[in-house]
Amino acid sequence: MPATSELDRVTAVVLQYMRTPFLVLLATYALGITGMSLMPGVNDSSMNLFHSFYFFTFTATTTGFGEVPAEFSEPQRLWAAVCIYTGVVAWLYAIGSFIRLVQHPQLVTAVSERRFARQVRAITQPFVVICGFGDTGSLLARGLSDNYRKAAVIDINEERIKALKLRDYRVKMYGLCGDASVPKHLLDAGITRENCQGLVALTRSDETNLKIAVMARSLNPRLKIICRSTCNQTREYMEAVGGVEVVDPYAVFSRQMCTAIFNPPLFSWMQRLIGALDFNLEVCVSPPVGKWILCGFGRMGRALRDALAERGIPTVIVDPGAESIDPDLPVVIGRADTRALDEAGIGEAVGVVAGTDSDEDNLGILLSARKLKVDVFLVVRQNHHENELAFSAVNANLIMQPSLVTARQILQMLTVPTILNLRRYLRDEGAEEVPRLVARTQGILGREKIHLWIESLDGSDCAVRAMTEKGIAPTLGDIQRTPMERTRRLKVLALVLRRGEALIMLPEDDTKLHLGDEILFCGTVPDHRLLSANLHNEYTLYYIHRGVDEPRTLFAAWLGRQTFLKSD
């Protein structure tokens, strides 16, 4: 039904713009051909309709083959001149109408929608639908591209879709300029297809994200939906819709901030794991424990205040609209200049958070705080990605980018969801295992760029299946050996092993592998390829498990048994 409606709309636009030009051309040619056939030629002979049509055909192309099939008479030349001028006018009118037609907004929109839907239908591997291509959507698309995941992007801003087509992604990304809350556009993006991995709503409006989630859930009840939201009421409503995962960047950063204060090695390890190369595991980012000054009591300030208060850390709020804040809270009314910071007690404070929604104000707060206290710990919020150079120049201890925090969180939810279970485990239960984990990561990977991926031991070509059928139980340590030199370990580290509903955190190398296991690894990209080769070649896996090559013929097997008996 949508395709038929769209075709009718395109047909109506074409007929509206080309009907009159077509009739003008038809009338011009009919009159010219008929008149040329009636004009008396040399020796009172006249041209037939075919010759007249042929003459007008090559005349319209400005080729100029001359007077054919015979020399024209004076009346014929006079009529040919008249027809040439009228034909030129008719063709100019028709060409102008055609140019206006191809530039018609409705036709351009209809054609782009059909092209987008056709491109999405051609995707055979898993893909993601991204609604909103601002800073967060752009960062998420880049992360998906680095993991070789395709995406269908919908954004109402045409300039952003044009920018999408100019990006140098590793895989093809498809874009559509349109309202993502319209069901037809969601269907064109392929949310009902089996290989659609999920939908991510990242528009600037929580209300729009909510509408997209409701529409998508109605169209596909089994679809994985992730929405960005910073409003408690909207978040609660989204969760009530069912199956909608909500990401609040300020809540995520508040948890990260508390982790950095109370478990600095874990915070640095998590940042290193998500690709922040500037985080060195040997030198942890360690915000001090003590009084903190929160400049700005918006979404970020409220989330940080609640998280810090829950852990017994005192805070002082500096905000121009502090009159509406709970009077029981310590507040300073006014902009966070040197006077307000001094009144808030920066002398005894250990840290300052510049968390307003203005990048200019946040940079000014940092400069004022450093002027009053050089060694104060500075946390700053960067709202716009294009201001990165200015924020890097001020040398803040910690920079919070809401778009980057959101994109990284959603990327992990889509590609390696078990990392979130590991993070909660290390933060809440396994804090004593963090030093050993950090030491192993540093010893195995060093300063290499870390890559996260999941290996599933359930395919028909999985070498573990063939080994199990032979009564051999390979271990986790076996598949992490180098196939060329089995005594050397690959630069990989197993983080989580999922076996059915059970999760084994930080499994040991002697853990035996079972069919159906899913293992979350971190490591380098080249060693990822080697590990995958170990898992998909039973002869390689046999060698790195036993230390000898598996016999591939009956004679080799017999010879191996004889050699084994003689050695005994």
Structure tokens of 462?
């999985």
pLDDT at position 564, please?
45
- The H or E element spanning position 129 is strand 127-131
Measured N-to-C along each axis, helices 525-535 and 538-546 cross at an angle, to the nearest 10 degrees, of 100
Helices and strands, number each (H, E), in the chain: 23, 16
Cross-sheet strand order for the sheet of 127-131: 173-177, 150-155, 127-131, 196-201, 225-228, 244-247
Structure tokens of 550?
């598996």
- Whether 448-546 and 123-247 are alike in CATH topology: the answer is no
For the chain, the structural domain boundaries read 2-103, 123-247, 288-396, 448-546
Per-residue pLDDT of the chain (568 residues; tens, 9 = 90+): 444 556 666 777 777 778 888 999 899 889 989 998 888 888 777 888 888 888 888 887 766 667 777 888 888 888 888 888 888 888 888 888 888 887 777 778 888 888 999 999 999 999 999 999 999 999 999 999 988 999 999 999 999 999 998 898 999 999 999 999 999 999 999 999 999 999 999 998 889 999 999 999 999 999 999 999 888 777 778 777 777 899 999 999 999 999 999 988 888 888 888 765 454 555 567 889 999 999 988 889 999 999 999 999 999 999 887 656 667 788 888 888 889 999 999 999 999 999 999 999 999 999 999 999 999 999 999 998 888 888 888 888 899 999 999 999 999 999 999 999 999 999 888 888 998 998 888 888 888 888 899 999 887 778 888 888 888 888 999 999 998 888 899 999 999 999 988 999 999 999 999 988 999 999 998 999 999 988 888 888 888 888 777 666 555 555 555 554 454 4
Look at residues 341, 322, 324 and name the one whose alpha carbon lies nearest to residue 333: 322
Structure tokens of 162?
């044009």
Phi and psi for 256 in degrees, rounded to 5? Answer: -65, -40
Yes or no: say if 485 and 534 are a contact pair by the CB < 8 Å rule: no
Pairing of strands 377-381, 518-523: unpaired
Phi and psi for 211 in degrees, rounded to 5? Answer: -65, -40
Class of domain 2-103: mainly alpha
Look at residues 62, 61, 84, 60 and name the one whose alpha carbon lies nearest to residue 72: 84
Pairing of strands 502-505, 492-499: antiparallel
pLDDT at position 555, please?
56
pLDDT at position 565, please?
45
Distance CA 263, CA 407 (A): 24
Global pTM reads 0.81
pLDDT at position 165, please?
86
SS3 track for 362-402 = HHHHHHHHHHHCCCCEEEEECCCHHHHHHHHHCCCCEEECH
Phi and psi for 153 in degrees, rounded to 5? Answer: -110, 135
- CATH 2.60.120.10, applies to 123-247: no
Look at residues 83, 2, 89, 79 and name the one whose alpha carbon lies nearest to residue 41: 79
pLDDT at position 1, please?
41
Q: What is the three-class DSSP state of 127?
A: strand
pLDDT at position 402, please?
92
The CATH number assigned to the domain with range 288-396 reads 3.40.50.720
Structure tokens of 389?
């150079």
Class of domain 448-546: alpha beta
What is the DSSP-derived secondary structure letter of residue 318? E
Exposure string of 368-378, with b = 16+ CB inside 10 Å and e = fewer, is: bbbeebeebbb
Yes or no: say if 516 and 499 are a contact pair by the CB < 8 Å rule: yes
pLDDT at position 494, please?
93
pLDDT at position 80, please?
87
